Amino acid sequence: MNTLLRAVVVAAFGLALAPQPGLSGDSAATKTAAAPVDVEAAEKLYKRQCRACHGPTAKGLASYPKLAAQPADYIEGRLRQYRAGETLGPNTPLMAPRARKLSDQDIANLAAFISSLPG
């Protein structure tokens, strides 16, 4: 009984010490555990590699989905899936090659930047 109680206390304590997911955009940074999110770098990258399809304010057009104001976790997840070669929508062949070149840091940066754009 005593041992069990101690195990429970230790487990609870361990949970308290484990890194907690931060508020909103923070989670992308903690997940990659690399450099902090660099929104300026993402803005440049977006202009060079994403704007042509998703639009200057990421509002999308026709078959190019709107990205602005999507949660950072969602954007990050989608980009990782495309990068991993998964087929998501009918136009995945247009998008996947763009994701393939992105690093974890690029993805975290882009997710933070794009989610901050007004929807």
Between 75 and 112, name the residue whose CB sits nearer to ligand HEC.
75
Tell which positions 58-77 bind ligand HEC, by CB under 6 A.
Answer: 63-65, 67, 75
Q: Whole-angstrom distance between the N-terminal and C-terminal Cα of the chain?
A: 55
Between 21 and 113, name the residue whose CB sits nearer to ligand HEC.
113
The reply on whether position 112 binds ligand HEC by CB under 6 A is no
Contact letters for ligand HEC, residues 27-56 (x by CB under 6 A): ----------------------xx-xxx--
The string of DSSP codes covering 79-110 is HHHHHTT---STTHHHHHHHHHT--HHHHHHH
Site residues (CB under 6 A) for ligand HEC?
Answer: 49-50, 52-54, 63-65, 67, 75, 78-79, 88-92, 94-95, 98, 110
